[in-house]
Amino acid sequence: MIFKVSLYAALLACIGTATSNQHMTDFKLYAYGSGLKPGLRLFYGDGLAYIGEKTPSFVTEAVNVTFSESVDGTEFVAKPDTSTAWDQELLYVVNSTDAFDSVGFATDGDNGTSSNTTSGFGLYGGWAFHQNGDGKIQMKFYATPTDDEDIYLVKWSAGGTQTSGDTPIALRTMAPTVITI
């Protein structure tokens, strides 16, 4: 009888842990795509999302960010890793039908334009996605080269189109593996 009680207690503890950890508390996003260095970190640059290993020469403010999911689990809340004039921003995509636009950051309640959306974001096994108004889960992130080597502007392709030189990317919470010999 003691064994059964212990087994049930352990099972209930596991179920409680599984349901309370559905959303990661803090995470970083890393980009993976063909022809890119694996695991380039996503960062804030003058209100837009970039990936790269260094600060771009053309932005005034660049800062690494750590994300968390909002309470309802539909927004990615970005917090700066260093001291800045802002405390947190929400990641947004331009979700109009034919858009191929930059992914950016907006203050809570201010998306900039009516076609920008901060809701619909989520994680599936560590893969970042956006769920559109039709309920479809999409991962239409692209990396557009900038004038600085290995620095890319992150874009969202609501219409599924891209321009020459753009690379489809996956944004993941998994950091690149570093192998030292």
**Following DSSP, what letter does each residue of 86-153 receive, concatenated?**
-S-EEEEEE-STT-EEE-EEE-TT--SSTTEE--SEEEETTEEEEE-TTS-EE--EEEEE-SSTTEEE
pLDDT of residue 111: 55
Collect all residues with Cβ–Cβ distance below 8 Å to 18 and sequence separation of at least 6: none
Give the per-residue pLDDT at 96.
80
Q: How far is 179 from 176, CA to CA, in rounded Å?
A: 10
Class of the CATH-defined domain 23-172: mainly beta
Residues of the chain with confidence (pLDDT) below 50: 1-21
Please report the pLDDT score of residue 19 as a whole number: 36
- State the pLDDT at residue 13: 42
What one-letter code names the amino acid at 28? Answer: K
Predicted structure pTM score: 0.82
For residues 81 and 54, give the distance between their C-alpha atoms in angstroms, rounded to a whole number: 15
The mean predicted confidence, pLDDT, of the chain is 84
pLDDT at 4: 44
First to last CA, the chain: 54
